[in-house]
A and B are shown apart, each in its own frame.
Chain A
Amino acid sequence: MSSSNRSRVTIDVDGTRYVDDVEPRTLLVHHLREHLGKIGTVVGCDTSNCGACTVLMGSPDQPQQSVKSCSVLAVQADGASVTTVEGLAGPNGELHAVQQAFHELHALQCGFCTPGMIMSAVDLLRDNPDPTEEEVREGLSGNLCRCTGYQNIVRAVRSAAAALRAQAEVLAEVTA
């Protein structure tokens, strides 16, 4: 039940490679939190509803997309690359546009849904760089928040979308 039955997993998390032996039943969220010290990703339920544990996960042949890490086994993430909220800020600590917008538009209170909400929003904006309000609400419907009533979250995601589009335009001009 304990140490005898373990599998080796190699997972890149926020740009660092981690090699560990885990029990096959270990959930990815617990592996991240308890073995790798990535406690920024949290657990809010036990039925995969709340999305507080959302991270981005991809593989060499598949781009990263949002997953509820409470519903993924660590062994399933073997060979994957994972981005958590802790890996989102730039090398000098500058906030990602979504993080910045959450702060400026007061899109968080207790902060518990925030890591998962931000990761879902990042994923949403990669798929849809200019979402309508309805599209944002639909895109975040897998993430529960008990504090904000969602409105400032929706505003923040749309504001971040505008900022990211502006950044992309600048980048396109520079490289053109």
Chain B
Amino acid sequence: MTVTENPTPMGFGRMHRKEDARFVRGKGNYVDDIQLPGMLHGSFLRSPYAHAKIVSIDTSAAEALPGVKAVITGKTLETLNLAWMPTLSYDTQAVLATDKVRFQNQEVAFVVAENHYIARDALELIEVDYEPLPVVADAKQALAPGAPVIRDDKEGKTDNHIFDWSAGDAEKTDRVFAESEVVVAEEVLYPRVHPSPLETCGAVADFDKVTGKLTIYSTTQAPHAHRTVYALVAGLPEHKIRVISPDIGGGFGGKVGIYPGYVLAIVGSIVTGKPVKWMEDRNEHLTATAFARDYHMRGEIAATKDGKIKALRVKVLADHGAFNGTAQPTKFPAGFFHIFTGSYDLEAASCDVTGVYTNKAPGGVAYACSFRITEAVYLVERMIDVLAFELKMDPAELRMKNLIKPEQFPYTTPTGWEYDSGDYPKALKLAMDMVEYDKLRAEQAEKLQRGEYMGIGISFFTEGVGAGPRKHMDILGLGMADGAELRVHPTGKAVLRLSVQTQGQGHETTFAQIVAEELGISPDDIEVVHGDTDQTPFGLGTYGSRSTPVSGAATAIVARKVRDRARIVASAMLEVSPDDLEWEKGKFFVKGDPDQAKTIQEIAMAAHSSLELPEGVEGHLDATTVYNPPNLTYPFGAYICVVDVDPATGQVKVRRFIAVDDCGVRINPMIVEGQVHGGLADGIGMALMQLMAFDEDGNHLGASLMDYLLPTSLECPSWELGETVTPSPHHPIGAKGVGESATVGSPAAVVNAVLDALKPFGVRHADMPLTPSNVWRAVQGRPIRTDLAIS
């Protein structure tokens, strides 16, 4: 094998993953792998209409089919007060439609049968009489006078308005705009896409009538939050609910919320007295689980003629679908969109966001968006290029001129974020050196002479991850702090229990490395337990790149608490005062006498022995903690994309992609790089091929992998990565989150590159996805409406 040794570093560094052993052998344990005695299978009947009144549902033929155990409709659920459930945005969502359907493929009935083949047969036998209603498929029509009211279930609701939300100082921003030499505006759409993890959503619910205990295995990124919500919704006592999140085949934000399928698996198990499995297929996943983006943005940028940016102003129309199920901290209905001033030092900024209902599936926050930062970064990075286009300036030079300087940190933005640390010019310079920027510009000019179109696109982004300070951030009232428990066994092996839930990000490896760094116990000797609410401390789960900022901090702190206990035990063993001991990774020794030492393993055994300990010290070697972060962490990056565009066909070829990321201290560089590779592929997908389009009747176009295109190995180039290290000053180990950075940062780089190539055609902006047909239209000077198929 060409690779190096297989190191197990006693702390941070490249370490091969502990998780791999089971996955490369097909010995993972995903939800659909779970088989329980007597287990039944459930499947949904879904609506063919985007908006229609339900006149009647006849389930008699389905119920009569041999092997069918139950057919559940909205009427059944109404008797249990479960026909509607609360969403993560304090709205309600139909579990099974009762009055009417509000998006195509909405859940209408649920069949429980002996196997999933019979369940699917039974769906065909259910007769539903629908009365079609006018459809709101276009967010821009949602607030038009006379638009059909989608949420007439809500008392007194006479329109499709959900919320208005603003940030920044509007008055000051308007003033700066009025005084500025140059003002440029642009309509920028971030189209509806879908995270589409390779494993869809599913659950196995097992309600034990004797003990009254519900065990639910499910594809959840937030098992503890799910447990609390089930307790609140179903009225089951929380200690009688055990949520187990086994191995998850990717989440990408699509597995944060609670879906009707989870609820129906539970109801099905309660009704039949047997475990019930629900596993959706890809079409159901794409059409009915959390979408991402769908922000219609009007950006305005104010600057001087020589390119000093003064202010940004944004109006957003946010399409939330039929139920506001957006997953974000309660006080932030537009997530962290107001971080849209990005990496630049501006005088003023303001934004207004309006959310509307449409006849589409709920969602919005997903797909590595860090709570709408994808949209924020895309907006600002596009507006910078639009300004560069108008000023005829090089976009790299324009960025360099306006970046926040290293000495300005901690930096408070015009909309109130306090960035923790950054050295932006260094990262941008590194990316430009890696790509040999000047040489590329020369090549571009030369090629243009020959009638060949290449483009260079830059995106410089600042992320905000690690939600978050409990004072400002909660989800359904649950503060966003996370617990950790660490127990060192007598023989010096350890168990770390976490509230966060990996979906492939390597927590079982990297969290063991954090303990190893703090205690000097080999990561191979540390078992990381997560995803079982009976076994792990409370916390809010993994999304928003919050695992390292919040749980990573909790892990370092709980390990330090154990070390403090170990110091006392060692002092009793060595018969010296604790103050006379010094710590060297893995052992305490007496100051000035290094031979007088006790290893952490010896200390662990002694802590469980008959050794007499000082008054008040209970013995054993364990600790618990809850970490309430003081601020988010703000990783950043400089991305450069190089493309070749054929204007005759509209074909875009991504030739190179340079990604410089700075996430502070890197716990495991190998894993960070893998996270970045994956996010860059997302960027290519969103920029060039992914779209959830709808026709005017609300039919979902792009509801399978035949049309909703995911990048393959052929569309992805060999990524070129670079790094700088600017630690987070407030984080116990200086580490920032990073998982979503590449998904947040890369789409703008790709789009900017394509539009850079199209500059000779006078194209200033075109919306994603830049498919061959859209690029071709842009070259022809034709308008693009990518949010609807009816362009």
**A residues with CB within 8 A of B:** 1-2, 23, 25-26, 33-34, 38-47, 49-50, 52, 84-86, 88-89, 95, 97, 99-106, 108-115, 118, 133, 136-138, 140-154, 159, 162-163
Contact = CB atoms under 8 A, between A and B. Distances in A.
Given A40-B25, A115-B26, A148 B677 contact: yes
Instruction: Name the residue among A44, A118, A138 with the largest chain B CB count within 10 angstroms.
Output: A44
Interface of B: 1-3, 6, 16-17, 19-28, 30, 32-33, 35, 65-67, 114-115, 117-118, 121, 196-200, 247-250, 252, 281-283, 503-506, 670-671, 673-681, 704-706, 710, 712-714, 716, 718-719
A140 B713 CA distance: 7
Contacts of A152: 674, 677
Given A46-B282, A148-B678, A103 B24 contact: yes
Q: When A and B form their complex, which 9 residue pairs have the shortest distance between CB atoms, in order from nearest?
A: A40-B26, A110-B504, A111-B23, A112-B249, A149-B677, A109-B504, A149-B681, A85-B26, A49-B705
A101 to B, nearest CB: 6
Q: Is the interface of B mostly helix, strand, loop or mixed?
A: loop
17 contacts: A1-B118, A44-B249, A45-B705, A46-B281, A52-B198, A97-B1, A100-B1, A103-B21, A106-B16, A106-B670, A106-B673, A109-B505, A109-B674, A150-B677, A150-B716, A152-B677, A153-B713
Contacts of B26: 38-41, 84-86, 115
A154 B678 CA distance: 13
A100 B3 CA distance: 11
A147 B117 contact: no
Q: Is the interface of A mostly helix, strand, loop or mixed?
A: loop
B198 A112 contact: yes
Given A23-B117, A84-B26, A103 B712 contact: no
Nearest to B503: A110
Given A46-B281, A112-B250, A146 B713 contact: no
A2 B118 contact: yes
A86 B17 CA distance: 19
Given A46-B282, A112-B199, A138-B714, A146 B250 contact: yes
A25 B65 CA distance: 18
B247 A111 contact: yes
Contacts of A43: 32
Contacts of B505: 109
Contact of B24 (A42, A52, A95, A109): A95
A147 B678 contact: yes
B23 A108 contact: yes
A141 B3 contact: no
Contact of B671 (A26, A84, A106): A106
Contacts of A86: 25-27
A23 B199 CA distance: 26
B254 to A, nearest CB: 10
Nearest to A87: B26
B199 A44 contact: yes
A110 to B, nearest CB: 3
A93 to B, nearest CB: 8
A133 B281 CA distance: 33
B712 A141 contact: yes
A147 B674 contact: yes
Given A40-B27, A114-B24, A154-B713, A149 B678 contact: yes
A149 B25 contact: no
Contacts of A133: 718
B230 to A, nearest CB: 25
B24 A118 contact: yes
A107 B716 CA distance: 15
Contact of A141 (B16, B20, B252, B713): B713
A167 to B, nearest CB: 11
B722 to A, nearest CB: 15
Nearest to B712: A141
B67 A2 contact: yes
